[in-house]
């Protein structure tokens, strides 16, 4: 018994919590991915504009 | 009497707030797209709350926690599927594609998506008719549950409850369209969250925390459960916190519930509409974390506290209250302060209202747009389209009210009926339409009708809950067969039929053109 539950019920219990955490991670992952993309894009743009300035 | 006055005041405030949101929705509703899919302008939070509030009805909160008090914590597998399948798989594998295909094909409902993809207004009309007919019965069952609860708690007459409830939901829905429905869902979702969160925390605190509470439930012997008249004495043979022996009757019951509802969620027309309302893919993507947490705080909490109610009843010498639906209301009334009794009632009311408004909207759209506008009165203007759908919605609401006021025995089984029927009828053509480019009109018809006819026969002739109500007894005595949800056979059958008939009756040139168009943005 884990936390008063047998192994199958405990698997369902912890699985439900993990599934909800997976939903959160999915959201965070795309949020971070988007932030990184935005950073890279703005860095790229800055580089381009600097190069233009030199030329 | 004081309670009733207090309740009436809060109900009036509740109704006024929703009517105001209905008015705001009315101001924003200019086109058919506005009325049917909220202008495809909804953001992540509103989508998540609306999806969750539509998904979780009063039956799920009160009924399923009552069922958990009988079968124990093994029903938590359903909570797992509710999040894993109902949110993650639903949004990632169905939501994104449905939204994109809906945009490419200019579809505003699930039947329209099927109809436009396979260039068949008949397919659209028949799908719309199936959805509308069974949705009316399902909504009546939701009404039945909520009106009974208020009758038991406040002694208000059942008829008055049903009429007031219908008028409030009907006004904001007909006036404000899906904008009003989704905004009210956000408000209702917050009340539901607060109610379930406080209830769960309260029960676990009363029982000394997670471990001690579960251990106390595990320690309840059949004799102790029998002493309060709890059906768990026989239905949870291995204890309230253990899985029942494999292939025993309780095991089959749990298996049927878990898969019937857990997988059936993927093909619910009222939920599919939520994908079509998203303003962009990012909104759908961001709805996933909110949706996951919302469902966690709804079904996980409801299914966790159900078995623990037995512990509270045993410890305090309370008798099991006849039917499982009355278990949680009894615990709330006996162990929580008066202010929470009201909050909980409004949480249950919110759950019922949110599901009912979504069902009314989808059923109204099915009759108004899919049957009348596309099937009978082809080529009418957008203004007329909304008008027809509003009239259809009034007719749907009136029909639901009539059934709820004159309930037939079979109506109560419609909740079990509905999820399985929708899954066996629509899930195969809908899934293959999104993922398999060779799916043809012939395949879609075969899968849809094959799944529908099989499920109806199963429910009428074999299924242990419905067959005895309809024909007197099940035609198959073996419980391992008659307790199976039709989804176990009907769904694979529907997939096989869609596949085989798509191979046999290939797409014509027009279908191929539409197929290419529908996959353009995917």
Specify the residue for token string 């996933």: B288
In a domain, B495, yes or no: no
Dist. CA B436–CA B26, nearest whole Å: 39
pLDDT digits (tens, 9 = 90+) for B489-517: 999 999 999 999 999 999 999 999 999 99
Given a contact cutoff of 8 angstroms between Cβ atoms, the answer to whether B127 and B426 are in contact is yes
B335 C-beta neighbours (distance < 10 Å), count:
16
- Distance in angstroms (rounded) separating the CA atoms of residues A10 and A3: 8
User: Is B22 part of any domain?
Assistant: yes
Tokens of B290: 């909110």
For residue B296, the chain A residues in CB contact (below 8 A) are 16-17, 20
Cross-chain Cβ contact B285/A5 below 8 Å: no
Under the banding of pLDDT at 50, 70 and 90, the label for residue A46 is low
Rounded-to-integer distance, Cα B329 and Cα B66, Å: 10
Which residue in B412, B485, B476, B500 sits closest to B455, CA to CA?
A: B485
Flag whether residue B238 sits within 8 Å of chain A, measured between CB atoms.
Answer: yes
Range of the domain at B322: 2-409
Is residue B213 assigned to a domain? yes
| Interface membership of A33 toward B (CB under 8 Å) | no
Hey, is the C-beta of A53 within 8 angstroms of any chain B C-beta? no
Q: Is A29 exposed, middle or buried (0-12, 13-18, 19+ CB in 10 A)?
A: exposed
**Residues B136 and B392: beta-carbon distance below 8 Å:** no
CB contact under 8 A, B76 and A22: no
Per-residue pLDDT of chain B in tens (522 residues, 90 and over written 9):
677 787 788 888 888 898 899 999 989 988 888 989 999 999 999 999 999 999 988 877 888 888 999 999 999 999 999 999 999 999 999 999 999 999 999 999 999 999 999 999 999 999 999 999 988 888 887 777 777 677 766 667 778 878 888 888 888 898 889 999 999 999 999 999 999 999 999 999 999 999 999 999 999 999 999 999 999 999 999 999 999 999 999 999 999 989 888 999 999 999 999 999 999 999 999 999 999 999 999 999 999 999 999 999 999 999 998 888 889 989 998 999 988 988 888 898 888 888 889 999 999 999 888 888 887 877 777 778 788 888 989 998 998 888 878 766 555 566 667 888 999 999 999 999 999 999 999 999 999 999 999 999 999 999 988 888 888 899 999 999 999 999 999 999 999 999 999 999 999 999 999 999 999 888
| A5: nearest CB among B212, B241, B290 | B241
B490 is a domain residue = no
Number of Cβ within 10 Å of residue B406's Cβ equals 9
- B438 phi and psi angles, rounded to 5 deg: -90, 0
Token match 């208020």: residue? B150
For B273-305, give the DSSP string: HHHHTBSSHHHHHHHHHHHHHHHIIIIIHHHHH
In angstroms, the CA B462 to CA B473 distance is: 8
Phi and psi torsions of B30, nearest 5°: -115, -35
- For B339-377, letters b (16+ CB in 10 Å) and e give ebbbbbbbbbbbbbbbbbbbbbbbbbbbbbbbbbbbbee
Could you give the CA distance from residue B298 to residue A18 in angstroms, rounded to a whole number?
A: 15
CA B315 – CA B280 distance, rounded (Å):
52
CATH number at residue B299: 1.20.1730.10
Residues 2-21 of A with CB under 8 A from B: 3-6, 8-9, 12-13, 15-17, 19-20
pLDDT at residue B487, as a whole number: 94
Phi, psi (deg, nearest 5) at residue B279? -75, -30
Contact B241 A9 (CB under 8 A): yes
The pLDDT value given to residue B64: 86
**Measured distance CA(B461)–CA(B483) in Å, rounded:** 12
**Cβ A1–B300 below 8 Å, yes or no?**
no
> Taking all residues of chain A, what is their mean pLDDT, rounded to a whole number?
81
Question: How many structural domains does chain B have?
Answer: 1
Question: How many angstroms separate the CA atoms of B147 and B169, rounded?
Answer: 14
Q: Could you tell me if A30 lies within 8 Å of chain B, comparing CB atoms?
A: yes
Question: Would you say residue B236 lies in a domain?
Answer: yes
Q: Measure in Å the smallest separation between the Cα of A34 and chain B Cα atoms.
A: 10
Query: What is the distance between the alpha carbons of residues B57 and B481, in angstroms, rounded to a whole number?
Result: 28
- Is the Cβ pair A12, B238 closer than 8 Å? no
Report if residue B509 sits inside a domain.
no
**pLDDT band at A54; cut points 50, 70, 90:** very low
**What average pLDDT score do residues A11-34 get?**
93
List the structure tokens of B296.
């966690």
- Nearest Cα of chain B lies from the Cα of A33 at a distance, in angstroms, of 12
Q: Does B383 map to a domain?
A: yes
CB–CB contact A23 B88 (8 Å):
yes
Q: Please give the pLDDT value at position B373.
A: 82
Please indicate whether, in this complex, the C-beta atoms of A24 and B289 are within 8 angstroms of each other. Answer: yes
**Would you say B446 and B125 are in contact if contact means Cβ atoms under 8 Å apart?**
no
The backbone region for B463, taken as left when phi is positive above 0, alpha when psi lies in -120 to 50, beta otherwise, is beta
The verdict on a CB contact (< 8 Å) between B285 and A13 is no
Contacts of A3 in chain B (CB under 8 A): 210-211, 214
Closest alpha carbon within chain B to A34: B282
Q: How far apart are CA B126 and CA B145, in angstroms?
A: 29
How far apart CA B201 and CA B48 sit, in angstroms, is 23
B372 domain residue, yes or no: yes
CA dist B188 and B351 (Å) reads: 7
Could you give the 3-state DSSP secondary structure of residue B105?
coil
């Amino acid at each position: 018994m884990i936390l008063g539950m047998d192994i199958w019920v405990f698997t369902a219990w912890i699985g439900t919590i993990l599934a909800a955490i997976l939903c959160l991670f999915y959201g965070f992952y795309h949020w971070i991915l988007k932030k990184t993309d935005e950073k890279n894009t703005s860095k790229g743009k800055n580089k381009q504009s600097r190069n233009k300035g030199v030329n | 009497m004081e309670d009733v006055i207090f309740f009436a005041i809060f109900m009036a405030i509740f109704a006024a707030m929703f009517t105001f949101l209905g008015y705001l929705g009315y101001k924003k509703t200019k086109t058919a797209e506005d009325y049917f899919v909220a202008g495809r302008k909804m953001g992540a939070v509103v989508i998540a709350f609306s999806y969750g509030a539509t998904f979780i009805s009063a039956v799920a909160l009160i009924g399923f926690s009552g069922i958990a008090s009988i079968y124990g914590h093994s029903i938590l597998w359903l909570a797992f599927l509710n999040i894993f399948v109902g949110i993650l798989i639903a949004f990632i594998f169905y939501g994104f594609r449905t939204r994109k295909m809906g945009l490419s094909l200019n579809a505003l409902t699930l039947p329209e998506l099927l109809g436009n993809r396979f260039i068949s207004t008949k397919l659209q009309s028949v799908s719309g008719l199936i959805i509308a007919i069974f949705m009316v019965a399902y909504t009546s069952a939701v009404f039945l549950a909520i009106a009974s609860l208020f009758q038991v708690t406040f002694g208000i007459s059942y008829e008055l409850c049903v009429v007031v409830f219908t008028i409030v939901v009907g006004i904001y829905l007909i006036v404000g369209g899906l904008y009003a429905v989704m905004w009210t869902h956000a408000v209702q979702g917050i009340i539901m969250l607060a109610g379930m969160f406080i209830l769960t925390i309260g029960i676990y605190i009363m029982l000394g925390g997670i471990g001690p509470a579960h251990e106390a439930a595990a320690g309840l012997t059949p004799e102790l459960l029998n002493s309060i008249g709890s059906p768990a004495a026989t239905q949870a043979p291995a204890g309230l916190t253990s899985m029942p022996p494999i292939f025993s009757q309780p095991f089959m019951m749990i298996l049927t519930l878990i898969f019937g509802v857990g997988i059936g969620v993927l093909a619910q027309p009222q939920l599919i509409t939520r994908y079509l309302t998203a303003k962009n893919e990012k909104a759908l993507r961001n709805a996933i974390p909110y949706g996951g947490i919302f469902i966690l705080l709804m079904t996980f909490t409801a299914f966790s506290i159900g078995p623990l109610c037995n512990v509270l009843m045993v410890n305090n010498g309370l008798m099991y209250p006849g039917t499982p639906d009355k278990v949680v209301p009894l615990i709330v009334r006996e162990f929580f302060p008066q202010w929470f009794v009201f909050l909980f009632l409004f949480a249950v009311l919110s759950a019922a209202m949110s599901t009912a408004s979504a069902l009314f909207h989808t059923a109204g759209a099915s009759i108004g747009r899919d049957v009348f506008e596309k099937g009978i009165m082809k080529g009418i203007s957008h203004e007329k389209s909304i008008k027809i759908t509003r009239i259809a919605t009034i007719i749907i609401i009136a029909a639901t009210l009539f059934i709820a006021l004159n309930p037939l025995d079979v109506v109560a089984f419609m909740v079990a009926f509905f999820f399985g029927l929708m899954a066996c009828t629509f899930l195969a053509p809908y899934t293959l339409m999104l993922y398999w480019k060779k799916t043809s009109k012939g395949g879609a018809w075969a899968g849809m009708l094959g799944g529908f006819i099989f499920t109806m026969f199963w429910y009428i002739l074999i299924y242990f809950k419905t067959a005895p109500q309809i024909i007197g007894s099940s035609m198959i005595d073996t419980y391992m067969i008659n307790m199976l949800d039709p989804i176990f056979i009907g769904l694979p059958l529907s997939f096989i039929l869609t596949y085989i008939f798509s191979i046999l009756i290939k797409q014509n040139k027009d279908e191929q053109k539409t197929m290419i168009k529908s996959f353009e943005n995917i």
